[in-house]
Structure 1
């Protein structure tokens, strides 16, 4: 029986597709009146579910630059993007032929400072600014839910530390 389990395992590995990589932007802004973080969610074009801007690697662009480009193309936002990912999550991406592939999305924080009126996918998606808790209830991917809530805690801790130190941006 052990040899049969080994053969089944080997066959399964032969047909398993490798994880595909995407880059996403967690677009955020800080509320001025009270310490709060808002994130931008958009709807996917195919299913209408709530997601963050994300896409495939781009030739000649770094991972953070590709994530920033996706944020502009899909949501019309620009800003300062972090050079290091804040985390990642997995989801199953449906392809046009009906095939689904496992994707890992490396997520970069993008501090939004400009919202454009015209951008490539304007009119193809809905976009809403929501707090991180609301965002976590709207997205389907468990890893993205966790990432959103952890991001909020990190940002609120930074805001609190800046306020204690007397930093003017708090």
Structure 2
């Protein structure tokens, strides 16, 4: 069985790999009672903690598309994000066919002014403020954990 696993991992699976697709993400933050806090939301599918992210939007800069995702997924009202991404992280998004699609997410910093109670995905997600150190323990993606650890120092 071990040989079959290795055969699949080393020879068959790479034939189905595609180039990484690009997404944009918003690292939403504020200064709260505990100092710097970041906003996490749950994913719609698995309910795990993530940051708002989505596909680029035609006609918008990547940072503006990240802000649009922050509004739709978390109800964030804030300043226009910085033009430069503060980092990237990779993960596999599972397609309807069951195959993984490799994705690289560009992360933009968003200072949160306020949160709306009514926003497009309000009934599909939960929100949570966390310190960057807490957020690093709650998300699954190693590179996103590193981004949280870097802003915490």
Q: TM-score per shorter chain, which class?
A: 0.7 to 0.9
Matching residue of 2:21: 20
What is the deviation of 1:38? 0.2
Kept after mapping to 1: 8 A contact 2:39/2:129: yes
- Per-residue CA deviation, residues 34-63 of structure 1 (Å, 9 max, x unaligned), is 6x2100000000011100000001111110
Alignment of 1:56-67 (within 5 A): 56-67=55-66
Structure number with greater Rg is 1
Taking the aligned partners of 1:74 and 1:145, their CA distance within structure 2 comes to 20
Structure 1 Cα separation of the partners of residues 13 and 27 of structure 2: 35
Q: Secondary structure at the match of 2:78?
A: strand
Q: 1:123 maps to which residue?
A: 123
How far apart are 1:151 and its partner, in Å? 1.6
SS at 1:146's partner residue?
helix
| SS of 2:28 mapped into structure 1 | strand
- Once the two structures are superposed, what CA deviation does each residue of 1:73-92 show, in whole Å capped at 9, x if it has no partner? 00001212111100000000
Residues 1-170 of structure 1 correspond to what in structure 2 (within 5 A)? 15-31=16-32, 36-80=35-79, 81-153=81-153
Instruction: Report the TM-score when normalising by structure 2.
Output: 0.87
Q: 1:49 to 1:13 in 2, by over 3 A?
A: closer
| Counterpart Cα distance in 1 of 2:92 and 2:15 | 19
User: How far does residue 12 in structure 1 lie from its aligned partner after superposition?
Assistant: 7.8
